[in-house]
Structures are given as C-alpha cells and as structure tokens.
Amino acid sequence: MGFLDHFLKAPSWGVHPADHKRPAADAPLRIFPSPARVFMPLHQHVGGVARPIVLVGQKVRKGELIAEAQGNISAPIHAPLSGTIAAVGEVTAPHPSGLPFKAITIDSDGRNLWADVEPLADPFSVAPEEIARRSAQAGVVGLGGATFPSAVKFALGKRLKVETLIVNGGECEPYLSSDDRIMRDFADQVVDGARLVMHAIGAKDALVGIEDNKPEAIAAMRVAAAPYPEVKICPVPARYPMGSDKQLIQTLTGKEVPSDARAAEVGVLVHNVSTCAAVHKAIRLGQPLVERIVTLNGGAIAAPGNIYAPLGTMIGELLAFVGMKEAPSRLILGGPMMGTPLLHDRIPIVKGASGILAFNAAEAFVPEAGPCIRCGNCSKACPMGLLPLEMAARIRIGDLEGAAAFALSDCISCGCCAYVCPSHIPLVQYFSHAKGELTAAERSRLRTDATKRLAEAKAARIERENREKAEAAARRKAEREAAKAAAAQPGSAASAAVEKTEGASA
Amino acid sequence: MSHAYGMPVAAPHTTTTNSPGRIMLLVMMALAPATLYGFWLYGWPAFYLWLITIMAAMFGEAFCLRWQNRQAWAVLLDGSAVLTGWLLAVSLPPWAPWWIGVFGGLFATMLGKQAFGGLGQNLFNPAMVARVALLISFPVQMTAWMGPVPIFSPGAPGSFEGLLIILRGMPSGLDGLTSATLLGYAKTELSRGVDLFQSTPHMPVLSFFGNRPGSLGETAAWLILAGGAAMMALRIITWHIPLSMLAGITIPAAIMHAIDPGRYLDIGPHLLSGGAMLGAFFIATDYVTSPNAPRGQLIFGFGCGLLTYIIRTWAGYPEGVAFAVLLMNSMTPILDTYFKPRIYGRDSRGRPLQTAN
C-alpha cells in the first residue's frame, strides 16, 4: 500500500517545492583549480570574530592558523592555500547589506603546500574532550548553514548526556546537493566523522536522516555504515524543511524540542553530514576546515554541479569556472527557501556556503503581492504550527506585540508560508522585520531598565550618603555638645566647687 | 565578473504557482455542474438571472474600486466578484425578476465586501449578506419557487421568452408553476396545526438528483457533493467545515425526529431540501469568513448546522442556512482567538513542553 503509506506517514507540515537538484547532483564532483588569491573573512561562524595573528608579507602554508578564536563561542581561521599574506583588511560581506568586513587576503604561491599536520592515530582511545579540542582547533563549525562552533555543541552534548546523535543528511533545500555529493563520494568519511562525534559527546547511537529523494546517497551511506551497527541510516520523506533540526528530530525520534529548550535537553544532538566529514578530516588527517563542497546551480549556469573549492574563493571565479548561459537575474547564497540574495559576485565563499544559485529571469520572477484571502495554506504548511496569516495581519498594522502573542519567536524563518501563499505575500520579510524590531525594543528596554536601575541605585546611594552625612553631622554635633557639656561640666563643677569653697570661705 | 544584481529581496526565492484567481476558478468549476443542472432544470430565466447577478456584482466591485482610484480590471480578474455573484445567484429563486439580481449583486460586493476594505477584509459572507437583505426586503419575490420545467420540455420558456420573464416578471399563465419548497410547506402546515403525518403525502417530492422546487443551484445534492469532493481532492477546502455542518443538522434532526416524528422533519428533508448541501460545501467554507484552524472550523461548521436546524424548526423562516452562516461568521474572530493549532514544542495552551531532565 504505497499510496496509503504516503498518505499516513507523510508529515502534515511543510511544502514540497520542485527540487531542481538534478542534474547538478548527478554531475561528478569537480575540483576547483587553486585560485590566485583568496579572501578569508574573520567572521565565518556564530560567535566572536577571530583575531588575526599574521602580518602582511608573512608566508603561510595551507592549513596554517591565520586568525585565532576569540571568546568562548568562536572559531579559528586557517589559510586555505599556501602563499603570502597580501592584506588584512576589509572586503564585502556575503550579506544583502553589502557592508565591508575584515578579512585576510592571501596570494597563492601556486604550490598548495600543506602545513605540518598531526593526525590522531587512534581517536577512540583518547578522552572525548580531546576530540572536541582538536575540532575546535581545526575551526570546525556547523556546515548545514548555522555555522555554530561544533566543539561548543560537543561540550553541551557531553554535559547533558545526549544518547542519540542525529546526523542531518536531509538537505531539504531545493537546488542544493553538496550534502548529497559528500554522502555519495565520501560516505566513509561521513560515517567515521559521525562515530567520532558520538565518541566526543558520549552518544550510544547515531541516526542518519536522509531524504528519500537521494537514493544514491542512501545506498552509499548504507555500505559505509554496514560495519557499524550503531550508525543507522534512516531514509525520511522528502519534505521541506526536513533538514531543520526540530523537524528531523521529530521525524526520527518522535520527540519534540520544547520551545524554550535546546535539542540536547531531550537527549539528541544534530550535526550535519558535512560537519561530520570535517570532524573526520580534523581528527584523522589533522586538516583544519579550509575547503568545502559548494553547489553551483540555477538556470543561468551552463554546467551546474558541485565544486570542491578552497574557502575564500571569490564567487565570481566559481561562476566563471562553471560557465554562465546568461547574466544571472539573481544571485543567492544558500538555497532558494532560506538563502541570502547577494548584490554582486565579488564576495568570497565561507564555511557555511553550501551553494551559490544563479537564477535566470524566469526563476527570479517575483509575482506581485496581493491581499490575504485567509485561505490558511500558510498555517497548514507551517512546520511549527504557527498562524502566519494572523501574525502578518498584526505586523501590517504595526501591532508587533500582538504578533509576538502568536509565538512569533518560535518562527524558524523556513519560508514555507511565503512559498505556499497564493497572494505571494512576503511573510518571512514581515516576520524578520518584526523580530528585528522586537529584539531592538527588548534591547532598548533592557538598557532603559539598566539605566533606571543605575539611576535608582545612584539616587539611593546619594540619599544614603546624605542620611549618613546628616547622621554623622548629628552625631558629631551631639558629640560636640557632649564634649562641650563635658567640658562645661568640670568647669561648672569647679566653679560650683569654687562657689562652694567661696561660700565656705565666706 | 563584477555585476550588480539590483535590490535585495527576501527569501524564499521561489514561490507557488497558486493564486487567488486559480482558487476562485477552481471553486467556480466545482460549482459549474450544479449550476448547469439548475439552468437545465429551470430553463432560460435561471440563466439570465445568473448572468445579471454576476454582472451586477462585478459592476459593484468595479465601481467601488474606481471610486478608490484603483485599477479595477486587475482586481476583477482575481474572480472573487464573479464568484460572489455566482454564489448569490445559485441561492436565488430561479425565476426571480431582474432587479433582484441587480440589487443583490450590487449589495453583495459594495456593502458586503468593498465597504469592509475589499477582498479578505469582510467579516460576513458577501453572498449571504445580500441574500438575507433580499429576503427581508422582498419576501414575496424571494420565496416564489419554481417547480422544475426542464429547458426543452413542453411548456418551458424559450430563450427570448425566458428573458421576458426575468425582465417583466412572471406571466400570469405560469403562476401555477410556483410551489413551496418542502421545508416551507411543512412549516406552513405545522403552523396551521396539521402534523407531518397528514401533510407528508402532499409534500413536494424529495430528490437526491435535484428534481424539486428550490433555489437555482441548491437542488442537485449529488452534483454539489461531487463539486465539494473535487475541491477537497484539490485541497481547496478541507473536510472540517462541510462535514461538521452536515453533522450539526443531522444529529439534532435525528434526535428530534425520533422524539416526535409528527412535529419534526426527518434527516432526509433537512439535508436534501433547502440549501444545506450548498451551504456546507460552498458557502460556509468561504476562507475569509471562516476560522482558519481545524478545531475552530469544526465548531464553526457544527454551529452553522445547528443554527440552521434551530431556525428551520423553531424560528419564523422555513430556511436558515444564510442566517446561520452569518451568525457563525460573527463568531469567527472569537473562534480564531481561542482555538489555535498547537505549536511545536508547546502544549495546547502555548506553554513550553516540559523536559524529562
């Protein structure tokens, strides 16, 4: 009963956009020839900006540390090729603002020499903390897009005694296939990385969730995981956003992550397949994260496919490498559902860059937004069970608190609502705007509160000081009086005595 | 290599091909069989009334849009005014005079919809607002039901004759063709003290296939059911409102009929006479005026059904679908407030779920 199965087991949430993954996913992985110059941004992760430790003119080798982590949540940056530091300065951020940010520019020497590495021969004999330490040193961050420093998550998993590692091979975003490719071509690295992560967090088993639209990846992963019964390959229905951690956890384990808690608190931790492969390289080969697979796809690209490229490579160079059929009408970093539009292609790829999409005019077409007809398709599609139409109606009239009462903060910005909206209302933009405004209001409220607290404390202190001063003055006065009185007393006693004596004498 | 890509736009960068126009078109297609059957059953006058009502609804919409200095054609193309006019037309007596259609169509889009701010803003179902306004203002014309005179049968008016009937009113020779609906007949007889055991043999026949007096498009239960099923298959509507509305009529009807069969009609007449079917699948399911979460929809539908039964049974009107839908429309914001779907990671009251550790 395939049909009935489909009907009963398919999740009630989400959307099913045309995935456009093939033929890009089926094209063999291409290696990008070493670029002449790379631009390594210092902030490619969640958390503190890395601090440069190299000087202009300094020679570096591939994999050498060029900027160190700063703060508890941060990640170091390594040289993606061997060469000379050309500049430590500003380039354009991969962000719609197009604002500049700090990066280290390296001129390649064309030799691509690796720095000395120290692989760990038997990682399963070392303490779990050592895996986390080495992953942190190698600059491994979540490669599914969140770019959260992995070692911090390992420590969290270890502390909260996580039982199950979930390896996210969902890759539910249309067009993207970099995770698909890594599972097909480097399945053994992914499985080994998953086992290393299990060791690092003390998990007993690993569930690898792969959407069933990637049968080749499922087959390759099954072969690679065959010797390890604790690593289970679990095909999941292809449904966007299956690759969102909350939805994947629910699908694989039936557990729901409470809205105010982290996944680790229900005993699971999610890591992306590419992150696992990066952990494998960091531990087994001693290689830091300096390269990644990037999907180049979209109607404007002549030969779409996956490219293995050093981080810091300009997007324009990658586009030139795959060839353009026409000038793209829109350039997107990431997938079409959650990706960031780019204003131009003079932007380097970063650790979290899973794909670059160059859309032709037809793909980039944005229908005009119309009025909400309250059809409710958005709330049926919402994987979080929210009511996008009600929140949008309130945000439209500026009632942000009203929208927040509909649990706006639980929105994961997956874009399902805006995708299904027949009136093409840019719902995600509404929500991002409201979240930003609410965060700003919250921040300013906290600041006002802090100011108020300080002002009140100051007033209290001044009052206390004045009181103390007054008390002290009163005390001093009393003392003075007492002293005077005391001084007068012997005097008066003496005079009395004198009088007495006088009287006596009289 | 350096190329600027214009203004940034928010994700998602892909969207559905669905549109309000497509939804309206599919609803119209689902409604078409029952309507065409109505044309066949009641002849040319029904067709002209349908046409006049839709044109009046479109004119009312266009007039309001022009008044606001908005481009009328682009909005008219979304089909919502056509659908409003269509839904009103199929709920009218099929041989009603032309000005009923004109008044109703204008009332529906101008006061029922545009006065609230246009598509998506109205609190009440525009077609039912207009129907109730007509029923209260012109009770005679609004209860002159035609018996079926299939379009090519002897005695049926031709295309020109039909037009004259709509424009000039019903010729005296045809007056004999009008009759009460089953619900109306039963109500009249009961008010005269004749119980259902005595009046049933004289009642208009009941037909699942629609061969009875009634509104233009409400009689063919099977075609309405098929249209409703098609809309569900195309995921335009869900089962919640139609099924709960029919349940809201069926359950009290079954109970009361079991208690006193002489006083209370059976389930059959309740479902197959009057606008129960049309109301359940096409009227109450209007997106704008119904709740958007499943539990709210179930209560809304059941309320529509129950109120319909109560109005039919104990109130002054023999039919109550329009009143019931309007009353429940007013409950929609409250139902939306109190019956939200459960949010992932929260309990039904919106509090975060508890963790084991």
Q: Tell me the per-residue pLDDT of B174-184, one tens digit each, with 9 for 90 and over.
A: 655 677 788 88
Q: Give the total number of structural domains in chain A.
A: 3
The answer to the question of residue A129 being in a domain is yes
Report strand pairing: A205-211 vs A231-236: parallel
Q: Which value, to the nearest 10 degrees, does the dihedral of the CA atoms of residues A218, A224, A225, A228 take?
A: 170
Task: State which amino acid sits at residue B246.
Answer: L
A279 shares a domain with A142: yes
CA A325 to chain centre: 34
Distance of alpha carbon A181 from alpha carbon B12, whole angstroms = 24
Q: What is the pLDDT of residue A481?
A: 85
A270 shares a domain with A189: yes
Do the Cβ atoms of A385 and B343 come within 8 Å?
Answer: yes
Other Cβ atoms closer than 10 A to A166 = 27
The answer to the question of residue A10 being in a domain is yes
The answer to the question of residue A219 being in a domain is yes
> For residue A241, what are the contacts with CB-CB under 8 A and spacing of at least 6?
A14, A172, A247, A337, A383, A412, A414, A416
Tell whether the torsion through CA atoms of B104, B106, B110 and B113 is positive or negative: positive
Task: State which amino acid sits at residue A114.
Answer: W
Do the Cβ atoms of A377 and B342 come within 8 Å?
Answer: no
Residue after which a domain boundary falls, among A238, A268, A286: A286
Q: Which ipTM value was assigned to this complex? A: 0.90
- DSSP per-residue letters across A119-170: --S-GGGS-HHHHHHHHHHTT-B-TTTT--BHHHHHHHHHHTT--EEEEEE-
- Average of pLDDT values for B247-265? 94
Q: Which residue has the tokens 């670059």?
A: A356
A478 shares a domain with A351: no
A428 shares a domain with A393: yes
Distance of alpha carbon A152 from alpha carbon A133, whole angstroms = 10
Q: How confident is the model at residue B171 (pLDDT cuts 50, 70, 90)?
A: low
- What share of chain B in percent tops pLDDT 90? 63
Burial of A5 (0-12, 13-18, 19+ CB in 10 A): exposed
Do the Cβ atoms of B5 and A328 come within 8 Å?
Answer: yes
A7 shares a domain with A154: yes
Distance of alpha carbon A434 from alpha carbon A402, whole angstroms = 11
Q: Is A293 helix (H, G, I), strand (E, B) or coil?
A: strand
Do the Cβ atoms of A341 and B13 come within 8 Å?
Answer: yes
b/e string for B187-223 if b means 16 or more Cβ within 10 A? bebbeeeeebeebbeebbeebeebbbbbbbbbbbbeb
A21 neighbors A48 (Cβ within 8 angstroms): no
Give the gap in angstroms from C-alpha A112 to the nearest C-alpha of chain B: 25
Closest CA to A168 of A90, A263, A78: A263
Name every chain B residue with its beta carbon within 8 A of the beta carbon of A386.
Answer: 341, 343
The answer to the question of residue A62 being in a domain is no
* CATH code assigned at A155: 3.40.50.11540
A110 neighbors A209 (Cβ within 8 angstroms): no
Range of the domain at A352: 315-364
Q: Which of A174, A371, A374 sits opposite B14 (nearest CB)?
A: A174
Residue after which a domain boundary falls, among A304, A338, A364: A364
The answer to the question of residue A360 being in a domain is yes
A155 shares a domain with A203: yes
Task: State which amino acid sits at residue B281.
Answer: F
A269 neighbors A248 (Cβ within 8 angstroms): no
b/e string for B149-176 if b means 16 or more Cβ within 10 A? bebeeeebbeeeebbebbeeebeeebee
The answer to the question of residue A331 being in a domain is yes
Q: What is the pLDDT of residue B214?
A: 87
Residue ranges of A 382-421 with Cβ closer than 8 A to chain B = 383-387, 389-390, 406-407, 410, 413, 415, 418-421
A372 shares a domain with A360: no
pLDDT at B95 > cutoff 60: yes
CA A135 to chain centre: 16
pLDDT at B290 > cutoff 90: yes
Q: What is the pLDDT of residue A127?
A: 93
CA-based nearest residue in chain B for residue A324? B1
CA-based nearest residue in chain B for residue A408? B343
A484 shares a domain with A382: yes
Helical packing angle, A150-159 and A128-137, nearest 10°: 160
A265 shares a domain with A405: no
A379 shares a domain with A351: no
Q: What is the mean pLDDT of each run of 10 residues along chain A (506 residues)?
A: 52 89 94 92 92 94 94 94 91 69 91 88 92 95 90 92 94 95 96 96 94 95 96 94 93 92 91 96 95 95 96 94 93 93 88 94 90 94 95 95 93 95 94 94 93 93 91 87 77 49 43
Burial of A372 (0-12, 13-18, 19+ CB in 10 A): buried
Residue ranges of B 50-109 with Cβ closer than 8 A to chain A = 78, 80
Of B2-11, B82-91, B134-143, B276-285, minimum mean pLDDT range: B2-11
Burial of B1 (0-12, 13-18, 19+ CB in 10 A): exposed
Distance of alpha carbon A353 from alpha carbon A331, whole angstroms = 13
Q: How confident is the model at residue B2 (pLDDT cuts 50, 70, 90)?
A: very low
Distance of alpha carbon A55 from alpha carbon A37, whole angstroms = 16
The answer to the question of residue A98 being in a domain is no
A209 shares a domain with A356: no
Name every chain A residue with its beta carbon within 8 A of the beta carbon of B77.
Answer: none
Other Cβ atoms closer than 10 A to A6 = 10
A132 shares a domain with A229: yes
What are residue A332's DSSP bridge partners? A341, A357
pLDDT at B274 > cutoff 90: no
DSSP summary character for residue A369: P
Token pair for A329: 């009408």
Residue after which a domain boundary falls, among A239, A268, A286: A286
Name every chain A residue with its beta carbon within 8 A of the beta carbon of B6.
Answer: 330, 343
The answer to the question of residue A218 being in a domain is yes
